[in-house]
Amino acid sequence: MKQLENKVAIVTGGGSGIGREVALHYAAEGAKVVVSDVNESGGNETVALIKKNSGEALFVKADSSRPSDNAMLVQRAIERYGALHIACNNAGIGGPSASTGEYPIDGWDKVISTNLSGVFYGMRYQIPAMLKAGGGAIVNMASILGQVGFRNAPAYVAAKHGVVGLTKNAALEYGMQNIRINVVGPAFIKTPLIKDIDEKFLVPLHPMGRIGMPGEVAELVLFLSSEKASFITGGYFAIDGGYLAQ
């Protein structure tokens, strides 16, 4: 039997990068996957890839920074598949590059609303649905920058630190109601999010001498979403090629 047989999962930011790989991994292990993204073509492509491999998936265009879109996304999952058991709150943006004293206010607001508030909005509507289903698992996507600073990225760093704290808090609240909530902290991963950064700058930051691949992160997310991680909640799990060991 596959690890996620008869489970229904939501993946935000599923149109590319880590989110796409998480959706593909979930589907390969038997989950019915609701893929969401603001990028309609990317999201539909992810669904097509899942169906090509005999999986079951639905694309729903949604902006994670909007509470109403998160509510709608959960409702669509329940309408199509009958319940919600798993969620990976992965959608995120990089934002402007500037020091704190010069950071654009609109950039701050956009990064915080997507990367932090979007995770809260997701859980706000996912958790009640999971309670009705008898329990579930949530994996939130933070970053190594949820543990340390990074010059000229104050909004991103603040948001990802916030996601770690939010995850721990929610895990405490729902641990006795059969909902496990964990957070993953990738280092620099080869995704569209870092397409404008020279890899020659990024590679030396990682003791393993390379950046990570989306599929490597997806394997960790899959584990945390499955019953193999049945006694794991409230944890922060770095997948960083040794970045935080320095």
Residue 103 is classified by DSSP as -
66-73: long-range pairs with CB below 8 Å, 24+: 66/121, 67/121, 67/124, 67/125, 70/118, 70/121, 70/122, 70/124, 70/125, 70/126, 71/125, 73/10, 73/12, 73/34, 73/36, 73/125
Catalytic residues: 156
Integer Cα distance of 7 and 30 in angstroms: 7
Residue labelled with tokens 């649905």: 129
* Number of helices and strands in the chain (H, E): 8, 7
